[in-house]
Amino acid sequence: MPPHTGTAPLYGFKSMSHENQKTWAVQPDKYVDEDVIRSHWEEILRLMVIIKLKETTASDIFRRLNSYSRQNSLYTALKTFGRIIKTLFILRYIDRVGLRMDIEAMLNKVELANRFTRAVAVGSPREFIFALQEDQQVAEACNRLIKNAIICWNYLYLETKLQAADPETRAEMMKIIKAHSPQSWAHINMLGEYDFSDKKLADNFGILPLKTRP
pLDDT per residue over 37-63, tens digit each? 999 999 999 988 988 888 888 788 777
Q: Is the pLDDT of residue 69 over 70?
A: no
What are the backbone dihedrals phi and psi of residue 4, each rounded to the nearest 5 degrees, phi first?
-75, 120
Q: What is the pLDDT of residues 2-20, one digit of tens each?
A: 445 556 788 888 766 666 6
Phi, psi dihedral angles at 30 (to 5 degrees) = -145, 180
| pLDDT confidence of residue 83 | 92
3-state secondary structure the chain: CCCCCCCCCCEECCCCCCCCHHHCCCCCCEECCHHHHHHCHHHHHHHHHHHHCCCCCHHHHHHHHHHCCCCCHHHHHHHHHHHHHHHHHHHHHHHCHHHHHHHHHHHHHHHHHHHHHHHHHCCCCCCCCCCCHHHHHHHHHHHHHHHHHHHHHHHHHHHHHHHHCCHHHHHHHHHHHHCCCCCCCCCCCCCCCCCCCHHHHCCCCCCCCCCCCC
Is the pLDDT at 1 greater than 80? The verdict is no
Determine what percent of the chain is predicted with pLDDT higher than 90.
13
Residue 70 is predicted with a pLDDT of 61
Single out the residue of 67, 61, 68 nearest to residue 44, CA to CA. Answer: 61
The pTM of this model reads 0.59
Give the tens place of pLDDT for each residue, 141-153: 888 888 998 999 8
Which residue, 7, 160, 205, is CA-closest to 90? Answer: 7
Other CB atoms within 10 Å distance of the CB of residue 94: 18
pLDDT tens digits for range 174-200: 888 887 888 888 888 887 777 777 776
* pLDDT higher at 132 or 109: 109
pLDDT value of residue 84: 92
Distance CA 57, CA 204 (A): 45
**pLDDT value at position 2?**
46
